[in-house]
Amino acid sequence: MTAAAVCLGSPYRGDDAIGPLAEERLRAAGARVLECRDEPTRLLDRWTGIDTLVVVDAVVTGAPIGTLHRIEAVDEPLPSDTRLASTHAVGIDDAIELGRSLGNAPRRVVVLAVEGERFGMGDAITPAVAEALDPLVAAALEELAEEPCTSGR
Full domain range(s) for residue 30: 3-145
The domain spanning residue 59 has which CATH number? 3.40.50.1450
pTM: 0.82
Note whether residue 50 is domain-resident. yes
Phi-psi category of 70—alpha, beta or left, where left has phi over 0 and alpha has psi -120 to 50?
beta
Count of CB atoms within 10 A of residue 149's CB?
Answer: 10
Task: Identify whether 150 is part of a domain.
Answer: no
Query: What is the reported pLDDT for 150?
Result: 46
Please give the backbone phi and psi of residue 60, each rounded to the nearest 5 degrees, phi first.
-130, 110
66-113 pLDDT, tens per residue?
999 998 876 665 655 555 555 444 566 777 777 777 777 788 889 899
Residue 107 lies in a domain: yes
Q: How many domains, in total, are found in the chain?
A: 1
